[in-house]
Amino acid sequence: MANNALTASCSVRNFKKIDGTRPSVKQGNARLNAVLATILKRLGLGLATLFVVSGIIFSSISMLPGDFSEAVLGQAATQETVAAFRKELGLDKSAPVRYFEWVGSVLQGDLGTSFSGRNASGQDRSRQVSDLVMPRLWNTLFLAGVTALIAVPLALFLGLTAALYRNTAYDRIVNALTLTTISTPEFFVAYILILFLASLWPVFPSLANIDATTDLGERLYRVALPALTLTLVIVAHMMRMTRAAIINLLASPYIEMARLKGASQSEIILKHALPNAWSPIATVIAFNLAYLVVGVVVVEVVFVYPGIGQLMVDAVTSRDIPVVQACALIFAATYILLNLTADIIGIVTNPRLLHPR
């Protein structure tokens, strides 16, 4: 009986509590929905952009001089053989038809069949583009991921401390060092690292050749030098942006207010400036991460790393159009996705957008 009364009173209290918080939950949901709608809208826009980019990729590849059949068959081939081979590859169809066939199959998840492995005698040892691209893409993403895990926290740390101790010797040294590494060509940074860390003091291997069977520890060991090279290349940009974004905010009246409320310098930077600086910082991080995926071919060549950059360069040389198109599309999607992420971070860290009036 007593128990019953207790539970009854409890449930009443609970009910009241729920009742009391209900409007705010509702409001919260409405806000979340608004943010979700914005994100979906951006996602849609991203897809539209990707569609436009696919057109640009296709038409610019069509403008490449020569084609695969001429590259394979050589100067001596007769008109008929070339024509027959072109027909087999589907290159005889008009450009718009080929474009829509390509887009159509990509939408169904089919990146097509590589040209290489075929020859005029009818032998066909060609492979699916996805089989060629995917392992390479994973390798590239692995290297990019390792680099990002080192570079982003490092850049944030250096940027924040440089802002905290701005105009001190520390600030100047950090600025000068990062500027030096960004101004040096990446292949040069790579060779310097090889010289010191692989040749003079052989800590890491100078070759980063990995394959599907390499285990994680070995992989990490082998990508150490390329990851270090890329870190040195991208850290400066992110660090300087972090520092600038924070220092830019330090002139705001609310920072002076925080100071006059007795906040210490580190509290000012971390609690009062940083939450308002995420948007520009996220943008520049996204930009650099995209670079890690699409711009690392030089580093891949130096360390003989089987990434997607090398694959694309090879495919362009041999006019393997389906592979080139697939790589270009992946690069475009990377840029769009990372920038989208930066936009979303900008939205969720801005109370004006997250909590409208």
Partner 1 sequence: MTNEPDASNEILLEMRGIRIDGYSDEQWHPIIKGVDLTLRRGEIMGLIGESGAGKSTLGKAAMGYTQPGCKLTGGSIMFDGIDLAKASDREKRKLWGTRIAYVAQSAAASFNPAHRLIDQTVESSTRRGIRPDAESRADAVELFRALQLPDPETIGSRYPHQVSGGQLQRVMTAMAMSPRPDLIIFDEPTTALDVTTQVEVLAAMRNIVEEFNTAAIYITHDLAVVAQMADFIQVLRYGEEVEQAPTRQMLTKPEMPYTKSLWSVRALEKPEVKGEDIVLSIDHVDAAYGPLKVLHDVSISLPRGRTVAVVGESGSGKSTTARVMTGLLPPLTGTIMFNGEPLPPALKDRSKDQLQRIQMIYQMADTAMNPRQTVETIIGRPLEFYLGLTGKAREERVIELLKMIELDGSFLDRLPSELSGGQKQRICIARALAAKPDIIICDEVTSALDQIVQEGILKLLLRLQKEFNITYLFITHDIATVKAISDEIVVMFEGKVVEQGLKSEILSPPFPEYTQLLLSSVPEMDPDWLTNLLAARSA
Give the interface with partner 1 as residue ranges (CB under 8 A): 252-254, 256-264, 267, 272, 275-276, 349, 351-352, 355, 357
- Rounded to the nearest whole angstrom, what is the least distance from the CB of residue 249 to partner 1 in the complex? 10
- Rounded to the nearest whole angstrom, what is the least distance from the CB of residue 333 to partner 1 in the complex? 32
> CA 306, CA 299: separation in Å to the nearest integer?
11
Nearer to partner 1, 43 or 258 (CB): 258
How many of the other CB atoms lie within 10 Å of CB of 286? 20
Q: Do 340 and 46 touch, CB atoms closer than 8 A?
A: yes
Nearer to partner 1, 66 or 253 (CB): 253
- Rounded to the nearest whole angstrom, what is the least distance from the CB of residue 19 to partner 1 in the complex? 15
Q: Which residues contact 44 (CB under 8 A, 6 or more apart)?
A: none
DSSP 177-214: HHHHHHHS-HHHHHHHHIIIIIIIS--S-S-----TT-
- Rounded to the nearest whole angstrom, what is the least distance from the CB of residue 351 to partner 1 in the complex? 4
DSSP 149-166: HHHHHHHHHHHHHHHHTT
- Rounded to the nearest whole angstrom, what is the least distance from the CB of residue 357 to partner 1 in the complex? 5
> CA 179, CA 276: separation in Å to the nearest integer?
26
Query: 119 φ, ψ to 5°?
Result: -145, 175
Nearer to partner 1, 185 or 275 (CB): 275
Nearer to partner 1, 162 or 223 (CB): 162
Nearer to partner 1, 228 or 274 (CB): 274
